[in-house]
Chains A and B, each alone.
Chain A
Amino acid sequence: MTVTHHPPLELLAGFAAGSLDAGEHLVVAVHVARCPACQRFVHAIEAVGGSSIDAATPVPMKAGAFETVMAQLDRAEPSTVSNRVPDDADEDHDLPELLRHYRIGRRRRIAPGIILRPIELPGTARSRAFLLQSAPGTRMLEHTHTGTELTCVLRGSFSHEGGQYGPGDFDFGDDELDHQPIVGAGEPCLCLVAMTGDLRMNGFFGRLISPFVRL
């Protein structure tokens, strides 16, 4: 299936530059990993980053920096760890590779037909990330966002005024948008979501539950 909905270019460029919030970074990364067009854009921004290194004014390294690094060249390479807790291994086998670097919390039923699994992000994150699985035909009430909401479809589909969103598609919502998404019939829809905004003020789960009604 071809990906038809992409992140705004500002987000892609921020992703390539490494300046996105951890939750946003994750959702964009999952989209980019399966979208050749966005990959190419990211690579182009990285090339601009390379030219920025070329053009940078060299700042002298500390005395002995070279020797310090040379002394480490033969040091054993630290193993890159992937310490995700392998619970629910069967159901997770088709999750994107990238998510394996993260701890994914337990499933919580937050409304009829809606299951949420929080994703643990580094302490610096402004956003919250979670997997959201919705039963076929679930309808969200019309809602707006206080911050931004980034969504990448992993399985199944949903649709709203912006069109139909299938696996790999990216949806960007902010406070300017009125959304009324409906989950496609046939199979559950699994999405990776990152939300920013002052969720505590509104009550995180309250805000999550309130938009959903099962038809």
Chain B
Amino acid sequence: MTHGFQAIRMLPKSRPSMAGFRSFRLRRYGNERPKVTVRIAVEWANLIGRVAAHGDREAFGRLFEHFAPRVKGMMLKAGAGKDDAEEIAQETLLTVWRKAAQFDPDTAGASAWIFTIARNLRIDAVRRKARSGSIDYGAELDYLVDPAEPIDHMLVRSDEADRIAAALSRLSEEQTMAIRLSFIEERPHSEIAELLGIPLGTVKSRIRLAMNRLRALLDEIK
């Protein structure tokens, strides 16, 4: 595999015991790349589908086992306290159970969908804490965001997930990392400089460059 498919390599390397793989073709955007067929594991999507279809608790158990500790890990990395990270991780998986029917594998990957749930819960948590000093998910809230509510309903195309994956795969690994470290993990520029091995003074332009390139790649998609 040539460079340009870093996003694929970022997926967890092996989930040997699980069935349910789907092959799909990365479309060509631009002119230079040959068509490459990649096999991508979609078992997480299948498990969510089983939860949606018949409240499959065994499938949910596997989702919990995989995602809850990772959501917790990500929340801790982004600066949440221990108890908050635990609470958000639990509530994220509970929302996965409740809203499984809203998941559409054509518009977003399973991890991306779970990310948006965790993100919305964190936004809510910050606002709740400001009011009461604790997250307290039982309390009624004025600004409650439906955690699984997509920001949009009509504009998403059916093959959006594939298209976005294709655009991301054309970013360099370093560019994807720059975006992830800066925005998802909210690390200070000094840390990003260290992790990427670049001078502090170039971090800002590196991030901006990565985002401009991503926007351009996405705009190429007609």
Contact = CB atoms under 8 A, between A and B. Distances in A.
Interface stretch (A73-81, A138-146, A192-200): A73-81
Given A59-B76, A102-B143, A22 B57 contact: no
Nearest to A40: B218
Interface string A123-154: 11000000000000000000000000000000
B69 A59 contact: yes
Given A50-B112, A52-B184, A122-B143, A13 B179 contact: yes
A111 interface: no
Interface residues of A, number: 58
A5 B203 CA distance: 26
A29 B151 contact: yes
Interface in A49-78: 49-62, 65-66, 68-70, 72-73, 77-78
Interface in A25-65: 25, 29, 32-33, 36-37, 39-62, 65
A47 B116 CA distance: 9
Contacts of B73: 56-59
Contacts of B155: 36, 39
SS class of chain A's interface: helix, strand, loop or mixed?
helix
Given A43-B108, A53-B71, A59-B85, A73 B94 contact: yes
Contacts of A177: none
B214 interface: yes
Q: Which of B76, B112, B141, B156 has the largest number of chain A CB atoms within 10 A?
A: B112
Contacts of A49: 112, 115-116, 119, 180, 184
B146 interface: yes
Interface in A98-125: 101-103, 120, 122-124
B183 A80 contact: no
Contact of B167 (A16, A44, A122): A44
A41 B122 contact: no
Contacts of A51: 7, 10-11, 111, 176, 180
A55 B55 CA distance: 28
Nearest to B83: A62
Contact of A16 (B57, B145, B183): B183
B109 A47 contact: yes
B59 interface: no
Interface residues of B, number: 81
Contact of A124 (B130, B156, B212, B214): B130
B115 A46 contact: yes
A13 B165 CA distance: 17
Nearest to B96: A69
Interface in B135-169: 140-146, 151-152, 155-156, 160-161, 163-165, 167-168
Interface of B: 7, 10-12, 55, 57, 60-61, 64-65, 67-74, 76-77, 85-86, 89-90, 93-94, 97-98, 107-116, 118-120, 122-123, 126-127, 130-131, 140-146, 151-152, 155-156, 160-161, 163-165, 167-168, 176, 179-180, 182-186, 208, 211-212, 214-215, 218-219, 221
Query: Which 10 pairs between the two chains have the least Cβ-Cβ distance?
Result: A50-B111, A50-B112, A58-B69, A49-B115, A18-B119, A56-B73, A122-B127, A9-B211, A124-B130, A59-B73
Interface of A: 9-10, 13-14, 16-19, 22, 25, 29, 32-33, 36-37, 39-62, 65-66, 68-70, 72-73, 77-78, 80-81, 83, 101-103, 120, 122-124
11 contacts: A17-B183, A43-B108, A48-B180, A48-B184, A49-B180, A49-B184, A52-B74, A57-B73, A77-B98, A122-B143, A124-B127
